[in-house]
Structure 1
Amino acid sequence: MKYNNPVIKGFYPDPSVCKVEDTYYLVCSSFQYFPGVPLFESKDLINWKQIGHCLTRESQVQLGSVGSSGGVFAPTIRHHGGRFYMTTTNDTTRQNFYVWTDDIYGEWSDPIFVDQGGIDPDLYFEDGRAFFMSNGVDDEGVGGVVQCELDMETGRKLSPSRSIWKGTGGRYLESPHMYRMNGHYYLMAAEGGTEYGHMVVYARGDEISGPFEAYPNNPVLTNRNLGRYELQGVGHGDLIQDHEGNWWMLHLGFRQIGQYLTYHHLGREVFLTPVTFGEDGWFTAGHQGTTLSSFETDRIPSDIIQQVQKNFTFENTDWKLDWCYLRHPELSHYVLEENKATLKGTDISLDLPKNPTFIGIRQRDFDVEISCEVQLNHGEAGITLYMDENHHYDLALRNEGTTYQVIERLNIGDIKSVEHKVDLAASNQVTLIIRADRKQYSFYTHINGKGILLGTAQTRYLSSEVAGGFTGVVIGLYAHGEGAIAEFTEFRCVYA
């Protein structure tokens, strides 16, 4: 059968995966968004359903006033002894920790902190022992992939932290994962930075603590030399073996907006790439070491159909799964019903690294039409295309004394400009519409049954190449202003 990449679309970076019986489970980074660490399940590796989050309580993660792309970095999910573990980093507080659950559909524990620095932590279990790895600096000040043995009940180190591999020489060694296969320990990591030079590398050894011999043909997977190809930034992977014994890599990558337009704004997404072991025990990945937009494979039964959701509404999404807040929300400001959202504004705007009244859903593809009915008493409310506090486009209904206006506002770095506005006289209800393709967003409103184009804005100014950071565009509903009450109905997000 033929499957298409990405297998999870939109801002879901840094995937990690484990398998329990006939089901695969996957987690991703969430940074400043809450709840933290989205959790998915699948039976076939190509169709993924979100079933929860690992961090659902303020006691589990400190977000506070973290800036965009701060907070929760790359997680790892593992299953051992009937228990699931998720370990991650709060990069803002510089703390590695893990949580656990015996019920994958239930709540996770409060955090257990580990006294080892670095980021991108990994857990490996063997013979009743637990090993913790991260990329950082060991107890002697030596950098690289750092390893210690842990007491999983307390998080206490049972051995000193020791650097066991320094990688192949690429910049930003990260994302270490340990596996035991074919009589060897395999240590896989990423290098090159999570940008256009990203790559997956690995080494193997006879002991869990090394020494490790690098794969002679590293990097094993990268798209860094595929100029003009849509899929770029391939790296940060995790290996998994399927029901039939085949190996795969779930990894991140991103889609640039055009052959010669090296910008991406949807964020880093989840890709699936086949892995093949040779007789010498080394493995290769993908098509000649690259990831493709689609793979033809006999590893997945031909009767399995890859499902793609095209239409997102209030009615067919779950407020607790598909939607997210900025940092820790004041939940009393949200009344979320089956077909309506009522938001109470405050004086905290989208431009501040705090907790504005905002609830969002990730943009999952380039071509989309977003629409919503908004009713407002005063203040401002509408739809935002949100990359970070300094890069977002807003289409909103705004109260101006006794009148109302629809505004199109562009926020690009230090430039914050209301580009266009349309007066509504005394009407306090309006339809807002945003149409998007790869290169631009177009902003409309409907007044008296007539569509009015307010203006356009280029997608590139919401890209990681312009804004920086590690997130992607989130389609947000927001309210701003003390005492502002906004009612959102008829939400539609329809992809081509």
Structure 2
Amino acid sequence: MLKKKFSFKKLGFIAILACTIMAVKPYLAKAYTSDLGNGTYQNPVMYADYPDNSVIKVGSTYYMACSSISYMPGLPILKSQDLVNWEICSYAFDRIDTGMSGIDKTHADAYNLVGGKNVYANGCWAPSLKYHNGTFYATFASLDLGKTFVCTKTGDMGFGGWTFTAISGIGYAHDADLFFDTDGRVYLINGGCNVTELTSDCKSVKPRGINQKIFDGGNTHDGNRIFKKNGYYYILSTPQKDGSSQRIEKAWRSRSLTGPYEQTIILDDGANHQVCVVDDGSYNWAMLFEDKGAVGRIPKLAPVTWINNWPMIGINGVGKVPLIYNKPSAGNGIKSPGTDDDFSAQGYVLSQWQWNHNPDNSKWTTSERPGWLRLKTSYAPDLLQARNTLTQRIQGPTSSGYVKLDATNIKPGQIAGLSAFHSKYGYIAVRNDNGTKKLVQYNVTGTESSVNLINNTVYLKVAADCNAQTAKFYYSYNGNTWTPLGSTLKMDFFYKLWFVGYRFALFNYTTASDTSGYADFDYFKFSPTIAGAKIH
């Protein structure tokens, strides 16, 4: 059972999150927006890493679930009134740890970054979000745990109140989609393509229920989605195109769940794939994503044109995603996930943040020094094994983030700062070398530049160009005049390595034995530009 407590210590806080965000200081900077303000939108709908989209409509509100891989809290859920403007409104779980649905310590150690283990490419893959008889169901599979989970929440969507259960009788169900049929029966449809009938509570495989392969979708049958319209069962998936790395989207249909099925290609448009036709009663819209390099996998919206009972993607069913098109509805104004945080809320940080793995809640606080995030020190051999690295998505096409850091209590061996975070990361930080504090810019390729720190209050900045796939690093002693340091990071993204894009990340760890130090961050500020001199 998932407690009604967030990894940010107090999940009850987020019931007032909207008010908190509105109260943030005037420096709050807006990210990229898809809404053009004239009844049209441009793709992508968010220029940030929100992949494996599963979208439903409940009442007048759309909800979208996305993969979270290793990041905690996990399985983010966003809401929208128009499929264009999205805000984070929930996470289905706050951590994955020992004792949760039979998870043992050996597997949990990887989620806690213990013993050199990690789950950077594992964790929560390709969730499915459904709503049935007053309950939300979010399912996902974890290859490293060998389990498929269902998270449920009854009543209104919001933070907290989710249960967390491993589905009994089934192991890892690849990119599975949950499906409630009109006759009351419920199924998982997963890669291959297989159908497995579940009990009505979705917590176990139904004895003597349907459990069979219904057609051969091949080994690359990703992003499975199922819906029913006009007497047809439709199953969508993304196989490779002609054995290449490029993907296409196929639809299979049948009058019977178990087949026989016929198929056609509904989308053939470069790196755009994994279509979810939105269950809004009309099935005239589709959410999908594009592999976009360092920024990650970015969600896009396209109309669905029904041709001969096939859901063809794009204007007039051309199989392409439009650059600009009419919004599905008027909506209620420009919305986007948060960016800035002044850490003024005691006991938590805002919902755009996720820890790199399960946090150690004894090692961070916003209460000991009100208005500051204090990251306490733990040992780690390098940044990737450091716990309590606090991240939010880098955004395209360009974005910058900077922090104000108080380095007074950084002890010998300790390093704290701001990273362009990924497997091939770079950072700018303060490091204490045997009592001498230095500003250090480091890239994981091994390049390092440093200068002596002349003031314990310092500003650190990362500027990311997602088109050029580069990040640059700067420091300042007044927050206005910036000095570049070190070399440009080539943000090299290979999706099978981590399956997620680059992030801004605040971190603190030590390679020495003294763990008494800490780093204080006054705020994080975001800008959609990469101006070298200022961020405002």
Shorter-chain TM band: 0.7 to 0.9
| Mapped contact 2:55–2:279 kept (Cα < 8 A) | no
The Cα of 1:384 is off from its aligned counterpart by 0.9
The Cα of 1:366 is off from its aligned counterpart by 3.3
Instruction: Tell me what 2:309 maps to.
Output: 281
| Mapped contact 2:291–2:298 kept (Cα < 8 A) | yes
Alpha carbons of structure 1 residues 79 and 473: separation in structure 2 relative to 1, 3 Å? same
| Mapped contact 1:66–1:92 kept (Cα < 8 A) | no
Q: How does 1:36-115 map to 2 (within 5 A)?
A: 36-58=74-96, 59=100, 62=108, 63-64=111-112, 65-103=117-155, 104-105=157-158, 106-115=160-169
| Mapped contact 1:11–1:472 kept (Cα < 8 A) | yes
Task: Provide the rounded CA distance (Å) in 2 between the counterparts of 1:316 and 1:146.
Answer: 49
State whether structure 2 residue 432 is matched by structure 1 residue 386. no
Task: Provide the rounded CA distance (Å) in 2 between the counterparts of 1:345 and 1:186.
Answer: 52
Task: Provide the rounded CA distance (Å) in 2 between the counterparts of 1:213 and 1:309.
Answer: 40
Q: How does 1:378-457 map to 2 (within 5 A)?
A: 378=411, 379-388=414-423, 391-411=424-444, 415-418=445-448, 420-425=449-454, 427-437=455-465, 438-439=467-468, 440-447=470-477, 451-457=482-488
User: Which residue, out of 338, 347, 357, partners 1:327?
Assistant: 357
Task: Provide the rounded CA distance (Å) in 1 between the counterparts of 2:46 and 2:381.
Answer: 30
Q: How does 1:189-268 map to 2 (within 5 A)?
A: 189-192=237-240, 197-215=246-264, 218=265, 220-224=266-270, 233-242=271-280, 245=282, 247-255=284-292, 264-268=293-297
Task: Provide the rounded CA distance (Å) in 1 between the counterparts of 2:434 and 2:446.
Answer: 22
| Mapped contact 1:431–1:446 kept (Cα < 8 A) | yes
Give the 3-state SS of the residue equivalent to 1:34 in structure 2. Answer: coil
Give the 3-state SS of the residue equivalent to 2:256 in structure 1. Answer: coil
State whether structure 2 residue 366 is matched by structure 1 residue 336. yes
Superposed CA deviations along residues 425-465 of structure 1, whole A, max 9, x for unmatched, are: 5x33211122232323221112477532213314443x227
The Cα of 1:372 is off from its aligned counterpart by 1.2
Task: Provide the rounded CA distance (Å) in 1 between the counterparts of 2:398 and 2:327.
Answer: 31
Task: Provide the rounded CA distance (Å) in 2 between the counterparts of 1:309 and 1:326.
Answer: 18
Task: Provide the rounded CA distance (Å) in 1 between the counterparts of 2:456 and 2:86.
Answer: 40
| Mapped contact 2:419–2:462 kept (Cα < 8 A) | no
Aligned AA for 1:191?
A: P
If the length of structure 2 is used for normalisation, what is the TM-score? 0.79
Instruction: Tell me what 1:366 maps to.
Output: 397
Give the 3-state SS of the residue equivalent to 1:270 in structure 2. Answer: strand
Instruction: Tell me what 2:509 maps to.
Output: 480
The Cα of 1:305 is off from its aligned counterpart by 4.9
| Mapped contact 1:267–1:471 kept (Cα < 8 A) | yes
Superposed CA deviations along residues 180-207 of structure 1, whole A, max 9, x for unmatched, are: 1012111111112899612211111010
Task: Provide the rounded CA distance (Å) in 2 between the counterparts of 1:468 and 1:114.
Answer: 29
Aligned AA for 1:43?
A: Q
The Cα of 1:324 is off from its aligned counterpart by 0.5
The Cα of 1:311 is off from its aligned counterpart by 5.7
Aligned AA for 2:166?
A: I
Task: Provide the rounded CA distance (Å) in 2 between the counterparts of 1:83 and 1:267.
Answer: 31
Larger mean CA deviation between 470-479 and 316-325 belongs to: 316-325
State whether structure 2 residue 225 is matched by structure 1 residue 134. no
Task: Provide the rounded CA distance (Å) in 2 between the counterparts of 1:356 and 1:350.
Answer: 10
Aligned AA for 1:223?
A: D
State whether structure 2 residue 377 is matched by structure 1 residue 345. yes
Superposed CA deviations along residues 386-420 of structure 1, whole A, max 9, x for unmatched, are: 112xx110100111233211000001xxx3332x1
Task: Provide the rounded CA distance (Å) in 1 between the counterparts of 2:443 and 2:327.
Answer: 48
Alpha carbons of structure 1 residues 91 and 316: separation in structure 2 relative to 1, 3 Å? farther
User: Which residue, out of 324, 329, 341, partners 1:313?
Assistant: 341
The Cα of 1:223 is off from its aligned counterpart by 1.8
Task: Provide the rounded CA distance (Å) in 1 between the counterparts of 2:231 and 2:388.
Answer: 53
Aligned residues: 453
The Cα of 1:214 is off from its aligned counterpart by 0.6
User: Which residue, out of 218, 221, 230, partners 1:182?
Assistant: 230
State whether structure 2 residue 298 is matched by structure 1 residue 269. yes
The Cα of 1:297 is off from its aligned counterpart by 2.2
Alpha carbons of structure 1 residues 435 and 97: separation in structure 2 relative to 1, 3 Å? closer
Task: Provide the rounded CA distance (Å) in 2 between the counterparts of 1:345 and 1:42.
Answer: 39
Instruction: Tell me what 1:17 maps to.
Output: 55
Gaps of 5+ in 1: 136-143, 225-232, 256-263
Give the 3-state SS of the residue equivalent to 1:416 in structure 2. Answer: coil
Aligned AA for 2:144?
A: T
The Cα of 1:342 is off from its aligned counterpart by 0.6
Task: Provide the rounded CA distance (Å) in 1 between the counterparts of 2:169 and 2:297.
Answer: 29
Alpha carbons of structure 1 residues 368 and 114: separation in structure 2 relative to 1, 3 Å? same
Aligned AA for 2:184?
A: G
Larger mean CA deviation between 188-197 and 117-126 belongs to: 188-197
Aligned AA for 1:384?
A: S
The Cα of 1:254 is off from its aligned counterpart by 3.0
Instruction: Tell me what 2:212 maps to.
Output: 162
| Mapped contact 1:464–1:472 kept (Cα < 8 A) | no
Superposed CA deviations along residues 298-339 of structure 1, whole A, max 9, x for unmatched, are: 6434x8655457962336997252101122110111113674
Gaps of 5+ in 2: 1-38, 530-536
Instruction: Tell me what 1:228 maps to.
Output: none
Percent identity for Structure 1 against Structure 2: 23
Task: Provide the rounded CA distance (Å) in 1 between the counterparts of 2:53 and 2:434.
Answer: 48
Instruction: Tell me what 1:259 maps to.
Output: none
Alpha carbons of structure 1 residues 361 and 195: separation in structure 2 relative to 1, 3 Å? farther
Alpha carbons of structure 1 residues 316 and 14: separation in structure 2 relative to 1, 3 Å? farther
The Cα of 1:357 is off from its aligned counterpart by 2.7
Aligned AA for 2:460?
A: L
Instruction: Tell me what 1:3 maps to.
Output: 41
Instruction: Tell me what 1:258 maps to.
Output: none
**CA RMSD after TM alignment:** 2.6
Instruction: Tell me what 2:522 maps to.
Output: 489
Task: Provide the rounded CA distance (Å) in 2 between the counterparts of 1:451 and 1:112.
Answer: 50
Alpha carbons of structure 1 residues 456 and 368: separation in structure 2 relative to 1, 3 Å? farther
State whether structure 2 residue 151 is matched by structure 1 residue 151. no
Give the 3-state SS of the residue equivalent to 2:362 in structure 1. Answer: helix
Task: Provide the rounded CA distance (Å) in 2 between the counterparts of 1:316 and 1:69.
Answer: 33
Alpha carbons of structure 1 residues 300 and 349: separation in structure 2 relative to 1, 3 Å? farther
Flag the structure with higher helix content. Answer: 2
| Mapped contact 2:42–2:325 kept (Cα < 8 A) | no
Larger mean CA deviation between 484-493 and 185-194 belongs to: 185-194
State whether structure 2 residue 178 is matched by structure 1 residue 123. yes
The Cα of 1:83 is off from its aligned counterpart by 1.0
